[in-house]
Structures are given as C-alpha cells and as structure tokens.
Amino acid sequence: MTSLVLTLVAQREATTLDSATIALVRDILATNAEAIVLSAGEAVDIPCPENAATKLPAVREALNTLPVDTVLTHTATRRKRLLVSDMDSTIVANETLDDVATHAGIGEKIAAITARSMNGELDFATSLRERVALLKGLPASLLEKAWKDVKLNSGARELVQTMHAHGAYTALVSGGFTFFTSKVAALCGFDENHANTLLFDAEDCLTGATGQPILGPDAKLSLLEKLTATHNLPTEATLAIGDGANDLPMLRKAGLGMAFYAKPVVRKEIAAQINHTSLRTALFAQGYPASAFIRD
C-alpha cells in the first residue's frame, strides 16, 4: 500500500484536468494506481510510490505550460486539525497597509518597503516601523476607506469553513493590523486572529507608532507552536499558509506548509506551492472532495 499521494489541481478558469494529463503524470511516477477524482476536470489524487518526491521535478517540468498545481502529501496525516494562515496576499488579495497608504497618497513609497520585507530583503520589524511612521498624523477614517477595498481570495471561506466543519481549529495571523484581521476573521469564520495594533492620538489620528511587541515571523511561529500544544496535536496535524518571508518560520514548522502565490524566497524553500489555483487547493491537498466543501 502506498503512503504518498500526489494531488493535481487545475486552474478552472483556464484549463481542464483531462485524462491525457493525468496519464502523463502517472507514467512519470511509474504508478499503476488509478487516479481518484476529487473534482471532475479540476482535481485528482494519484497514489504514488515512496520515491515520488524524486520524480516531482520531472512532473512539474512536464506540466510547466499548464496552470496545474501539484502537492505531495503523506496519506496517514493528510487531514489537518489546525490551520494557521497569513492574511495579506493570502486570505485576502490585498496588502492592507499598502491600501491605507494609497488612500493617503503615499502608496508607492510604502509598497516598495513592503515588497522588500516580503522578499526577505529587510527585517520585518524595521520595515513595519518605517511604514507606519510615514502614516503619522493621518486620520483613522483612512482605515475604513481601505477596508472597503479588501477582497477575499477565492476559496478563503471554503477553506476555513470546511476545515472547521471537520473539527479543525483555525487562526488568522498577520504582520498587519487587528483593525483588518478582526473583520477578515469574522468574514471567514476563523476561531481567533492576531496582528499588530495601530496607535491613535486624542484627535483620532495615527501617531506613526504601533503597539509593542511587534508581531512578526517569530510570533507567527510561536502561535503555531502554542496552538499545537494547546490542542494536544502532533505537528503533522497542522497546516500553515503564507506568501512572504515573514511566514517562512511557521511554514517550515507546520506538518504541511503551503506557499500561496509566494515570493521567490519562499518558493525556493517550501515544496508545497499554490501558484496557479485557489485556496481550494489546500482542501484538495488534504483529500477533501469538492462535494465536501462548505460553501455560502
């Protein structure tokens, strides 16, 4: 009996996962196991031999012109009982601090600092202090304006609601701000949320500072470890999802760390990647068929 499974997920809007593509992958893996359909034309599981990891580069090379994601998992520990997810550019399409800056007319300046931080070129705490300092004196109303621009990524609610319905605990953690995480957590159904806090003066304007301590990569890892212990789970039962350098510690630690449309520094290190599809792939990778997804 095989202990590994390769999940193929196609970008529904661009292509269909057809029998020829599935057969090609089975041939590369040298497996006689039949593919298990999770969603017709969209996702399948292919049970595969123990050496499947060594053949993944060949599989990805063969699929490199197709918008298809591939995730290799162990069958015994597929269903995760804890989800810890980043927010900006993961659960939501936005970088919320950049959006606040855009409404303030300094979007490009702050976005450039954000990009350097997410690419691992700048210490996270330093980058956050620099960006927030540029907002000093701006009215709190800018946050409400930025909130109106926030858009959930496809599959975000399905991911959280489906895992929750099957007994998993879910946490949203962000290097951004509680103003946004509290609202996004409520929209998706996360059990808890954690982020940094913005400080305001008596006139309800930003002071240019944040509450301490700053929540960064180490705090994300600590939250994953704390919740794993609190719920008495093995590390293998945990799932972490993120896109930036500040997510790397928790992605490395989780039983399954998934890089979601991630920065190059993250894709270089994290094997399980969503580069073409939606957050639904994080469910398919756990063996959930589309029929089990919780939808609005």
Indicate which residues carry an active-site annotation. 86, 88
Pull the structure tokens for residue 129: 């202090």
Pull the structure tokens for residue 85: 């997810």
**β-strands 43-48, 4-10 pairing:** antiparallel
Please state the φ and ψ torsions of residue 52, each to the nearest 5 degrees.
-60, -35
**C-beta neighbour count of 144 within 10 angstroms:** 11
Determine contact, residues 233/248, Cβ cutoff 8 Å: no
Please state the φ and ψ torsions of residue 260, each to the nearest 5 degrees.
-105, 110
**β-strands 198-200, 206-210 pairing:** antiparallel
Assign 88 to helix, strand or coil. strand
Hey, which residues does 82 pair with through a beta bridge?
Answer: 169, 238
Q: Max alpha carbon distance in the chain (Å)?
A: 69
